[in-house]
Copies of this chain bind each other. A is one copy, B any other.
Amino acid sequence: MSKFLGFSCSLCDREYGPNEIIYTCPKDGGNLDIVYNFSSLKQDVSSDMIINSPEESLWRYLPLLPVNQVHGRETPLQAAGWTPIFSPPALREQLGLQSLWVKDESRNPTASFKDRASAVVVARALEIGVEVVVTASTGNAGAALAGMAAAAGQKAVIFAPRTAPPAKIAQLLIYGAEVLLVDGNYDQAFDLSILAANEFGWYCRNTGYNPFTLEGKKTAALEIWECLINRRSFESPLAVFVSVGDGNIISGLHKGFKDLQALDWLAEMPRIFGVQAEGSAAVANAFSAGVEEISPVAAETLADSISVDLPRDGVRAVRAASQTGGAYLTVSDAEILAAIADLGRVGIFAEPAGAAAYAGLHKALKQAIIGSEDPVLVFNTGSGLKDVNAAMQAVAPAVIIEPTLRAVEQALDLSD
């Protein structure tokens, strides 16, 4: 019997067979959750099988994913996920935390968390025999799809708003994607990508639309379980901090932990904390108001990867915190820049959206939402090399000196 039973709507709970539907619930447009046959999974898969896997990538979790084969062996597709978890002593001291880990998603093949989603979407596209994958994106999701599709030998079409930064467009073009700069805003690019996918028979990866992105993203939760929770005994549940834009990453983490509980491999659900930029806080607003309905905002923050007017996976994102004893926090752009510098000083170069989670943890400690004895894991979701302009705002400029020892002494205040 297949492990992958079908889909369940996150709004109305209606269920669909695995080949009955592709994207969202036809009844209410709700995002779909993948439904597994856990009784058969419990018989077929043991945690030891996973833990002893030789795969140094997210494909070690293939038995728990809704695809059947690892494609693109010996390509970057094979190298997504399985990112390092650091525990920098200086950050523990700075925050006064006994246990702190940083999971560094910038170490993915295209340098962001989004590779996890794109790897699974590309594998799904190969299984259903679609040769062209498509998405609307201004940044990491597009790069991840372009990179993973290139690795798998698929053709990728990326719709971006005409105003997208040229540097981010360059990464798409390098991966050989067809890049269409839409003379309009992001919403128009999003709508056009769906229209085009339907018209031309392409497979659309759009976040908060394609149900397979969540499954890729859940692998980060599986790694936290395997590398951290399963190897230690925590006195209080692990608190996981992650930045939130469209809400798909935090929902994916929640799904991963829920799947582990359904397998009886995880005793205690981690508490999940979402961090949004103050200027792009649609999900945090809903959480604060105690509702699941998301009201759009006019997003404005330097953290472009989490700058979102209408989060397309907002309902599940609210639940990820509300159902786990977590919370939402918002941080200013200035706090995000300070977090970039804090992470940099221990050797982790984060983009603004990547550093936002650390800024949120800082705030949670100040507000006593987190105490010094709580074990905490914070995500860096993307590489600072993706947004060097923002990085330059986070640090003081370098000093210019004459080529003399005296000038070195003066600049570094070494003379006594």
A residues bordering B, Cβ < 8 Å?
56, 74-79, 84-90, 101, 104, 107, 109-111, 147-151, 153, 157, 160, 162, 166-167, 169-176, 178-184, 188-189, 191-192, 195-196, 199-200, 340-341, 344-349, 383-386, 388, 391-392, 394-405, 408, 411-412, 414
Contacts and interface: CB of A to CB of B under 8 A. Distances in A.
- In order of increasing CB-CB distance, the 6 nearest A-B pairs are A151-B347, A174-B344, A179-B398, A385-B385, A74-B87, A176-B345
A408 B180 contact: yes
A346 B195 contact: no
A90 B76 CA distance: 13
Contacts of A189: 403
A150 B151 CA distance: 33
15 contacts: A75-B86, A79-B84, A79-B104, A79-B107, A107-B107, A150-B344, A157-B412, A174-B394, A180-B399, A180-B408, A181-B400, A183-B402, A184-B403, A192-B403, A195-B405
B385 A180 contact: no
A398 B344 contact: no
Given A90-B153, A171-B385, A176-B345, 13 more contacts: A74-B85, A76-B86, A76-B347, A79-B107, A107-B109, A151-B346, A167-B388, A174-B349, A179-B398, A181-B399, A183-B401, A192-B405, A196-B405
A78 B86 CA distance: 9
Nearest to A411: B180
Contacts of A347: 75-77, 109-110, 147-151, 175
A356 B10 CA distance: 50
